[in-house]
Every structure is written in structure tokens, then in C-alpha cells.
Amino acid sequence: MDTVLGIDLPTWWFLLIGALISGYGILDGFDLGAGALHLFFRKEQSRRIALNAIGPVWDGNEVWLVIGAGALFAAFPLVYGTILSVFYLPFILFLVALIFRAISIEFRSKEPMRWWHQLWDVSYCISSIMISLLLGLVLGNLIQGLPLNARHEFVGRLRDFFNPYAGLIAITVVSLFMMHGAMYLLMKTEDRLYARLTIIANNTSKFFILCFIATSNATLIYVPHMTSIFKSHPELFVLPMAAVLIVLNIRRSIEKRQYRRGFISSSITTALLLILFAMGLYPNLVLSNIDPKGNISIYEAASSDSSLRTMLLFAAIGMPLVATYTVFMFWTFRGKVKLEEHSY
């Protein structure tokens, strides 16, 4: 099999897509979290500041979703088609929520009426929560595995997706993003909104830690296949340990009011949780919970070697560019938010 630097091409793409999804989780994660917290801010001024904290960057953050989905389509088309068609309605709702989030941000400032602002504030908050919940729901079901028969055909029903474990993961994702968003907003705000956010950060981090403990236990008990890798490779156990330490560090940062550190910690938490998920999965992309032959491995799902190789070259050129734009964007809009004539 074709390898680059000793790693085979499908594995390269498994890693790259993992990196893209982590990038999306970290970047749009704080946008979604800020959105989910939006209705907690009472004053018009506070809401405007919170909105403008993500105003110039959220569109660039969403690009990571577009690239991640495009990369999954290109590298593992079988999985792309399977996951999206199996989760048909959840993904359609996800798309509608993405539309509503985008237009809420865009339209809110366009009219002066109070009811108009209220309307888009509610739409912004609900769509942000919906996006996070649906991502969590899909993730929760992927962790448990899907009812795929030996020919990778889906034989389940829509209502099976709504199970307690997937619900728990969905709530965990919301709590993680809310905490992450609060930390981001703390870096961008001052005065009264800042003071309010310190309380919100404190509460959401406690909420997240509760979810984190519940999720860890539920996964150990109900989804043992996700943890079997640690039996064969005990040295990898360092990763879940690191996750625990990083999560504790979030609390520590909040108590010491070092929110930049807290933000970095919640970013790493997002990435680590996805890495743990990926480790439980590899070398599969989709697990079957009824027939191990139904598992879709990266080798079965991969595009041709020549296509993966060309695309890898594209990624090697393109990803540093995308990273550069992202850094440039955050650098341009660094510092606390000041409302001005172009603000939302």
C-alpha cells in the first residue's frame, strides 16, 4: 500500500479529517457557545458586544466545517454518503439551524425595532443550541455504532437515534461549547458584561464537569468498545488522564481568572475528546452495532490512492494557507470589542 512518511494514505486522511473536525469544534465551538449563552445577556448593549465579539470571525470559522465535509466526501465517499443519508433528518435540521444562525447574526442589526432584535436574538440562541445538540446527537450515535448489516446498509429506524446515551453526549457538547464560548467572550469584553460572564463561566464549567463525569462513566459502562484500545495499548491511557487534568485546569484557570489559559484549555479539551473518539474508532470510520462485518473501515471507504495522494498535496499547500488566514483574521480583530459604525 502507498505510504507517505511511513503512514498509509487512508490513515493520513483519517488524521487530517480528524484535525479539520477538531478545528471546527474549537473555532465554531466558541461561536456556538456564545450563541447559546446569548439570552443570558439582558442589556441591548451587552448583546451587541457579544455578537460583535464573533462578528468578524464566525464565517471564517464555519469554513472548517465546509472543508471538513468536503474532505470526507473526497477521501471517504462511502462514509460521507452513508452517514449523511442515515442521519437524513438530523442533518437537514442542522442545515436549517446553520441558515438561521447566519441570518440572525446578519439581520439583527438591520432594523431599529426592539421586537426585531428580540426575534433574532431568540433565533440566534436557539439555532446555536440546535446545531450543538444535533452534532452531539450524531456523535453519540456514531460512538455507539449504527445498525448496519454486512453490506453496510442501514436497517434501523429514525427513533433509535433518540436514546439516552446520545442525549447525554448532545448535552455534553452543548455544555462544552457554552463554557468555551464564555471563556472566549471573557477575553473580548470589559466592565459589566465581563463581570456577568465570570459568573456564567463559573457555572457553565461546573455544568460541563458534571456532564464530563457522566459521559465518561456511561461510556465505560455502555460502550466498552470505545475503551478496548487501552487494554491492548496501556501506554495510550495517558490521553484520557491528560483530558482529566486539562478539564481540572479549566476550573483552576477560572478560579484564578486566567481566562486566556482557560480558553486554551477548553480548546484542548475539545480536541482531546475527539482524539479519544477517533482512537476508539480507528481503523474504522463507522461502527456497526449488529454485525462486525458491517463496520466501514477507512480502507474500504477510501478513494483511490492517486486521488488521496493529489489531495494530500493540496492539503499540504492549502492547510498552511487556511491557518494563516485564520491567524491573520484573529490578529486583525484582537483585543476587547469596541462598538463602532460597522458593528452589528
Partner 1 sequence: MDNVELLSRIQFAFTIAFHYIYPPLSIGLGVCLVVMEGLYLKTKDKVYEELTRFWVRIFALIFGIGVATGIVMEFEFGTNWAVYSRYVGDIFGSALAAEGIFAFALESAFLGVLLFGWNRVSPRVHFMATVLVALGSIFSALWIVVANSWQQTPSGYRIEGEGMQARAIVTNFWDMVLNPSSLERYSHVLIGALLSGSFLVLSVSAWYILKKNYTAHAQAAFRIALWVAGIAALGQLFTGHKSAEVVTKYQPAKLATMEGHFEKSAPADMYLVGWVNANEQKTTGLKIPGGLSFLVHQDFKAPIHGLNSFKPEDRPTAINFVFQTYHLMVAIGMTLIGLTWFGLYMLYRKKLFETRWLMQLFVWAVLLPQIANQVGWYTAEVGRQPWVVYGLLRTSDALSQAVKAEHVLASLILFTLVYVLLLGLFLYLLNKKIQHGLDVANNGETSSRMNPSFLPMIE
Residues in contact with partner 1 by the rule CB under 8 A: 55-57, 59-60, 62-63, 65-67, 69-71, 73-78, 80-86, 88-89, 91-92, 94-96, 98-100, 102-103, 106-107, 110-111, 153-154, 158, 303-304, 306-307, 310-311, 314-315, 318-319, 321-322, 325-326, 328-329, 332-333, 340, 342-343
Residue whose CB is less far from partner 1, 203 or 307: 307
The Cα diameter of the chain in Å comes to: 63
**What is the DSSP track for 112-153?**
--HHHHHHHHHHHHHHHHHHHHHHHHHHHHHHH-B-B-TTS-
Residue whose CB is less far from partner 1, 22 or 175: 22
* Smallest separation, CB 311 to partner 1 (Å): 6
* Smallest separation, CB 340 to partner 1 (Å): 6
- Decide: residue 51, CB within 10 A, 0-12 exposed, 13-18 middle, 19+ buried: buried
* Smallest separation, CB 310 to partner 1 (Å): 5
Beta bridge partners of 3: 8
Residue whose CB is less far from partner 1, 77 or 240: 77
Q: Which of 164, 150, 165 is nearest to 288 (CA)?
A: 150
* Smallest separation, CB 96 to partner 1 (Å): 6
* Smallest separation, CB 315 to partner 1 (Å): 7
Beta bridge partners of 4: 7
Residue whose CB is less far from partner 1, 103 or 218: 103
Residue pointed to by grid coordinates 461510556: 219
Residue whose CB is less far from partner 1, 94 or 208: 94
Dihedral sign for Cα 164, 227, 209, 31, please.
Answer: negative
* Smallest separation, CB 213 to partner 1 (Å): 34
Residue whose CB is less far from partner 1, 50 or 86: 86
* Smallest separation, CB 303 to partner 1 (Å): 4
Grid cell listed for 262: 482557560
- Decide: residue 304, CB within 10 A, 0-12 exposed, 13-18 middle, 19+ buried: exposed
Consecutive H or E run containing 297: strand 296-297
Q: Which of 135, 132, 74, 124 is nearest to 100 (CA)?
A: 124
Residue whose CB is less far from partner 1, 207 or 291: 291
